[in-house]
Amino acid sequence: MRTYQTEVLVIGGGATGTGVAYDLAQRGFKTILVEKRDLTHGTTGRYHGLLHSGGRYVVKDPKAATECIEENRILRRIMPHCLEDTGGFFVTTPWDDPDFGDRFMEACQATGVPCEEISVAQMLREEPLLNPKISRCFRVPDAAADSFLATQCVAEAARQYGAEVLIYHEVIRVIREGDRVIGVVCHDLVKDEEVSILADMVVNASGAWAGKIAHMVGLEVSVMPGKGVMVAANHRVVNTVVNRCKMPSDGDIIVPVHTVAVIGTTDQRVADPEHFAIERWEIDLMLEEGDKLVPGFRQMRMLRAWAGVRPLYQETKVADTRDVTRAYTLLDHETRDGVMGFITITGGKWTTFRQMAQVTADRVCEKLGVERPCRTHEEPLPALFESDRHTANGYHYLGARLTDIESHKSYGDLVCECELATRAVVEQAIRDGNAHTLDDIRRDVRLGMGPCQGGFCTYRVTGLLHLWRQTPVTESNVALRDFLQERWKGLKPVLWGAQLKQERLDEFIYLSVLNADHLPGEKASRLGPVMYEEEVNNE
């Protein structure tokens, strides 16, 4: 068995885990991060893409709101190329309590969230598709975030400080000697072998899976997986983040992210963060609520649906996951449970990942008896792709990729026309991003995330992966099938109208013309997607 030795081992390759690894490596610790799939495979890659101003929580969860606005300002400074400065509206629709706006304004002032009320006429000048029956509008500093790019930038920064990032390494056993955790055993899914990693300190930053990792140590950590379903429209319905001005509820926010607009989200408790269904009522609810913000929303073309699972932590039982705080929690298992060498960071929001990492690294310093200050709030994160350097006042803007293509005259090198992904950026993702699957490339360059959902780019990128990896043809074939299945995973809940026609065309291309189902090789690989469960029919 291969064995690694390190000072600190971080479990979890989402925003929090990579943030912890970066902070620790920057402070001079020898650090290894393990993730059972690719980075952002879990909750980080399955949310609506919002950089919170804190406005959403000012009334119900002021602690979380204050954390959000503090980190909002820091992330704008250190990773603007991962953010789009859309701004945010909180609007009062005819279905909302008109007096809530006053409570909202007062709570914003109390928590330090900048807020100004603007006229409905001004709102409609900026966002003409919004419901003209909206009675009040408040402006806050929300923004759109590319969590895929941000996490890769944080991981790259960690590597530059000497950290090792081991993807496709699933923790199957935690090594405990008496009252101390000394490491883990992982299954390397790519090489199909076990790997031992020994560490002075183990940080459990596995999000919704934190309870499962703690259970391997023999500890109880009550993480409540809260499923949130989101749906993407095929164009930017709005250019501003739009929230309903009311207590947080289902389907009350639309976020413009790159070329699409995402409406979310439900909040349903599930038993297992790995296995759950997307129910028809959840899709219907998103469309119905979207209509209240943008009349005609439900008639628009929907690209796909997906669900992420929030890691909600609560020591006492509550009936509704929306009653669980969105603030984060750091658990020191030596003081809490008498087990040394093991701490858990859980809860929180994507917006607060850097702050969560800082308090976790502070505790690691305390446990290892050293004093090393945090600097992650000071140093800008690296830009990974040349198009990231085309910015508007430092922030990402929608035309950045087109600007890059025009400047290099690379019109004929498009691999994915929907998202303007060129051969150069795809090859960079394969070469430098350590991509093992087509879905890994998707997360790096947004491959296949446009209206055709991989219809015209999947066979092209399969050829490039085969060319660069020099893998047997059978492995390239299974990579293609895995990716088609991953795209099908999110298409299935929204198969009607134009998207049904698109999927029928994709079916002709891959099943009828390319005979993808019968090409040599396995039908699926162990790196393939975990499909959503079939919904329970209660009729």
- Please tell me whether residues 90 and 239 are part of one structural domain: yes
- In whole angstroms, give the CA distance from residue 357 to residue 458: 36
- In whole angstroms, give the CA distance from residue 77 to residue 141: 14
What is the residue range of 306's domain?
Answer: 82-143+226-310
Reference 133, options 88, 92, 90; nearest CA is 92
Reference 430, options 440, 422, 415; nearest CA is 440
Examine the fold and report which residue of 286, 310, 334 is the final residue of a domain before the chain moves on.
310
- Please tell me whether residues 423 and 281 are part of one structural domain: no
Give pLDDT, residue 537.
Answer: 64
- In whole angstroms, give the CA distance from residue 520 to residue 78: 47
Q: 325 in a domain, yes or no?
A: no
Q: Enumerate residue ranges in the chain where pLDDT < 50.
A: 316-326
Q: What is the DSSP letter of 376?
A: T
Burial 159-172 (b: 16+ CB within 10 A, else e): bebebbbbbbbbbe
Q: 275 in a domain, yes or no?
A: yes
Give pLDDT, residue 62.
Answer: 93
Place of tokens 């929204």: 494
- Please tell me whether residues 419 and 302 are part of one structural domain: no
Give pLDDT, residue 6.
Answer: 98
- Please tell me whether residues 121 and 263 are part of one structural domain: yes
- In whole angstroms, give the CA distance from residue 490 to residue 262: 14
Residue 309 near residue 530, CB atoms below 8 Å: no
Q: 250 in a domain, yes or no?
A: yes
Give pLDDT, residue 538.
Answer: 53
Element (H, E) at 495: none
Q: Using one digit for the tens of pLDDT, what is the confidence trace for 443-492?
A: 999 999 999 999 999 999 999 999 999 999 999 999 999 999 999 999 99
- Please tell me whether residues 89 and 230 are part of one structural domain: yes
Place of tokens 């291309």: 509
Give pLDDT, residue 224.
Answer: 86
Note the Cα 446 to chain centre separation in Å.
13
Identity (one letter) of the amino acid at 34?
Answer: V
Long-range pairs for 332-337 at CB < 8 Å and ≥24 separation? 332/363, 332/367, 333/181, 333/214, 333/217, 333/219, 334/367, 337/219
- In whole angstroms, give the CA distance from residue 494 to residue 500: 8
Give pLDDT, residue 87.
Answer: 98
- Please tell me whether residues 303 and 416 are part of one structural domain: no
Strand-pairing partners, residue 347, are 328
Per-residue tokens: 218:
């023999």
Q: What is the DSSP letter of 383?
A: P
Place of tokens 């992420």: 308
- In whole angstroms, give the CA distance from residue 521 to residue 505: 24
Give pLDDT, residue 328.
Answer: 87
Reference 465, options 442, 488, 446; nearest CA is 442
- Please tell me whether residues 442 and 306 are part of one structural domain: no
CATH number of 137's domain: 3.30.9.10
Residue 267 near residue 226, CB atoms below 8 Å: yes
- Please tell me whether residues 417 and 302 are part of one structural domain: no
Residue 361 near residue 158, CB atoms below 8 Å: no
β-pair type (88-92, 241-244): parallel
Examine the fold and report which residue of 266, 291, 310 is the final residue of a domain before the chain moves on.
310
Give pLDDT, residue 322.
Answer: 37
Q: 52 in a domain, yes or no?
A: no
- Please tell me whether residues 296 and 421 are part of one structural domain: no
Helix 15-26 × helix 353-368 angle, to 10° = 50
- In whole angstroms, give the CA distance from residue 321 to residue 313: 10
Cis peptide before 265 (omega within 30 of 0): yes
Strand ranges, E, within 234-338: 241-244, 253-257, 260-264, 268-269, 302-313, 328-332
- Please tell me whether residues 439 and 302 are part of one structural domain: no
Could you give the number of structural domains in the chain? 2
Place of tokens 């490339």: 441
Q: 74 in a domain, yes or no?
A: no
Reference 30, options 12, 55, 4, 69; nearest CA is 4
Place of tokens 């040599």: 520
Q: 424 in a domain, yes or no?
A: yes
- Please tell me whether residues 127 and 268 are part of one structural domain: yes
Q: 527 in a domain, yes or no?
A: no
Q: 44 in a domain, yes or no?
A: no
Residues in the chain: 539
